[in-house]
Structure 1
Amino acid sequence: MKNYKLSDMKGGWIVGGFEPTAYSTLDCEVAVKYYKAGDTESEHFHKIATEITCIVSGEVIMCGKNWSTGDVIVLSPGDITSFKAVTDTITTVVKLPGALNDKYTV
Structure 2
Amino acid sequence: MKKMNHYKLEDFLRGWFVGGFEPTLYKTTDVEVAIQYFKKGDKEASHCHKIATEITAIVKGKALMKGIIINEGEIIKIEPGTYTDFEALEDTTTVVVKLPGALNDKYLEE
- Structure 2 gap ranges (5+): none
Unmatched 5+ stretches in structure 1: none
Match of 2:51 in 1: 48
Task: Tell me, yes or no, if structure 1 residue 30 matches structure 2 residue 42.
Answer: no
Match among 20, 24, 29 for residue 23 of structure 2: 20
TM-score scaled by length of structure 1: 0.98
Q: Does 1:5 align with 2:8?
A: yes
Number of equivalenced pairs = 106
Bigger radius of gyration, 1 or 2? 2
> How large is the Cα RMSD of the aligned pairs?
0.7
Cα distance, 1:2 vs structure 2? 2.5
More strand by percentage: 1
Correspondence for 1:91 among 87, 90, 94: 94
- What is the percent sequence identity of the aligned residues? 58
Moved over 6 A (4+): none
